[in-house]
């Protein structure tokens, strides 16, 4: 054990924030008044720290084998320095990709996708409301101005998407994976579209239905509890958005997903995909156990692809990419805002979660989400994962349509309308 203790002492020397470690036997290593204190209940968890297996440490925290005292921002600064190497430094072997694809295919049936979505999104609407903005927009905000609040930045994001899609009054608009309805309702109220949203979350479906009624949008907006694969193709949409959705689709189903979007989109129409992307090509998940932690506790079935892979699938489906924007640091700031809000309401969050998950379940969920939000913020800051908006068209084949010869779509081939 002395060797392990010496390893821990050596690791503590080079951290950006002083850390105290309380050992299973009761003694303490590190300064007594450190801003971060980690208490270990068994020696195996201490060995995990010495090895820099951050994902395993996170699991030990969720399962209460490690206790944490300190600010999440300080803890994440420490976590980044504990890693033994870059978490996206190595590409997976070719045979790993084959196994990953087979796993992806098995994990993303309509029944399993519904179960996985409900695992995450149906925890408790009241829990999410504690740390999201008033519109409950659960995706990357757009800090168009540096002094924007989270609520302002989320509204800026909603409008940014609507501008990119060039929404016009009366157009048929589809939002795939519509969440708590932020974009769906914004588009209906501010752009006058005929809006349809689909979700697999029962809680979100009920919430959006109630909001449609409360806002008097019956006949203009609707939400369906429906898998994207089951959406009828007899009536085409002028514009289609998908925000925070393709992460749940699975690599093996990407051809089916983008093919479905193309078939639902009228010729000349626009579609925007907004979602989390991998930090490097050929990397299936974050290393050092971080990806495994997210899979187990937060997003079962979630898969990240590099933007280059997503654009390839877009093109293979017959869609033309016309604009791609990287909003990675915007998501870091969004996640820190969520993390800070949750940290400010820990007691209230525990009470809320106990009503649906019981006492032990509530504690586990809360510990998992504390690490998930702060750890994701750190990962976006570091560039280990990213966030892209990809705008595409379904060319109509008419060389005379559009704003200039050969446009073959409504897209003007400039960005003036997005930022004006």
Bridge partner list, 38? 21, 68
Give the separation between CA 246 and CA 142, rounded to whole angstroms: 19
Mean pLDDT of 302-323: 94
Q: What local confidence, expressed as pLDDT, does residue 90 receive?
A: 53
| DSSP letter, residue 17 | S
pLDDT band at 92 (very low <50, low <70, confident <90, very high): low
Tens digits of residue pLDDT in 193-239: 999 999 999 999 999 999 999 999 999 999 999 999 999 999 999 99
Q: Residue 280: which H helix or E strand, with range?
A: none
Lowest pLDDT segment from 16-20, 100-104, 115-119: 100-104
Q: What local confidence, expressed as pLDDT, does residue 113 receive?
A: 54
CA 152 to chain centre: 19
| 3-state SS, residue 7 | helix
**Which span out of 175-179, 286-290, 300-304 was modeled with the highest average pLDDT?**
175-179
Q: Which residue has the higher pLDDT, 81 or 347?
A: 347
Tens digits of residue pLDDT in 59-90: 888 889 989 899 999 988 888 887 765 666 55
List, in order, residues 6 or more apart from 369 with CB less than 8 Å away: 298, 342
| DSSP letter, residue 92 | P
Residue 410: is its pLDDT beyond 60? Answer: yes
Q: Which residue has the higher pLDDT, 77 or 182?
A: 182
Side-chain-facing half-sphere of 410: CA atoms under 13 Å: 19
Long-range contacts of 57-60 (CB under 8 A, 24+ apart): 57/82, 57/289, 58/289, 58/290, 58/293, 58/371, 58/375, 59/289, 59/293, 59/296, 59/297
Mean pLDDT estimate for the chain: 87
Residue 102: is its pLDDT beyond 60? Answer: no
Tens digits of residue pLDDT in 1-14: 677 777 777 777 78
Give the separation between CA 409 and CA 400, rounded to whole angstroms: 10
CA 109 to chain centre: 20
Residue 118: is its pLDDT beyond 80? Answer: no
* Measured distance between the N- and C-terminal CA atoms of the chain, rounded to whole angstroms: 64
CA distances 368 to 58, 125, 210, 294, 342, Å, are 8, 17, 30, 9, 12
């Amino acid at each position: 054990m002395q060797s392990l203790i010496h390893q821990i002492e050596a690791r503590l020397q080079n951290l950006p924030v002083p850390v105290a470690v309380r050992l299973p036997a009761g003694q303490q290593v590190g300064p007594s008044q450190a801003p971060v204190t980690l208490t270990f209940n068994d020696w195996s968890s201490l060995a995990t720290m010495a090895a820099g297996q951050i994902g395993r440490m996170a699991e030990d925290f969720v399962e209460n084998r490690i206790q944490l005292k300190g600010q999440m921002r300080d803890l994440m600064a420490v976590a980044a320095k504990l890693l033994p190497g870059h978490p996206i430094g190595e590409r997976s072997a070719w045979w790993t990709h084959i196994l990953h694809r087979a796993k992806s295919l098995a994990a993303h049936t309509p029944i399993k996708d519904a179960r996985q979505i409900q695992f995450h999104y149906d925890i408790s609407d009241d829990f999410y409301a504690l740390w999201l903005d008033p519109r409950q927009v659960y995706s990357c905000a757009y800090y168009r101005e540096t002094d924007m609040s989270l609520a302002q930045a989320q509204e800026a994001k909603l409008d940014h998407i609507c501008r990119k899609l060039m929404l016009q009054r009366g157009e048929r608009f589809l939002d795939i994976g519509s969440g708590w309805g932020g974009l769906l309702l914004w588009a209906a109220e501010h752009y006058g579209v005929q809006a349809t949203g689909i979700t697999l979350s029962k809680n979100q479906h009920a919430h959006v239905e109630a909001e449609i009624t409360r806002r008097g949008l019956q006949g203009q907006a609707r939400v369906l509890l429906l898998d994207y694969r089951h959406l009828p193709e007899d009536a085409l949409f002028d514009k289609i958005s998908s925000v925070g959705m393709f992460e749940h689709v699975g690599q093996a189903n990407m051809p089916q997903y983008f093919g479905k979007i193309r078939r639902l989109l009228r010729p000349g129409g626009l579609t925007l995909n907004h979602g989390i992307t991998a930090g490097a090509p050929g990397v299936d998940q974050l290393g050092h156990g971080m990806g495994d932690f997210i899979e187990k506790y937060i997003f079962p079935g979630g898969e990240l692809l590099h933007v280059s892979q997503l654009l390839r699938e877009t093109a293979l489906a017959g869609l033309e990419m016309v604009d791609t924007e990287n909003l990675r640091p915007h998501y870091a700031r969004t996640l820190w805002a969520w993390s800070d809000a949750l940290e400010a309401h820990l007691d209230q969050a525990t009470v809320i979660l106990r009503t649906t998950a019981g006492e032990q379940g509530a504690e586990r969920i809360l510990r998992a989400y504390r690490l998930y939000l702060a750890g994701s913020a750190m990962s976006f800051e570091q560039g280990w994962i990213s966030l892209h908006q990809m705008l595409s068209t379904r060319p109509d084949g008419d060389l005379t349509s559009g704003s200039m010869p050969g446009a073959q779509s409504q897209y003007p081939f400039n960005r003036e309308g997005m930022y004006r």
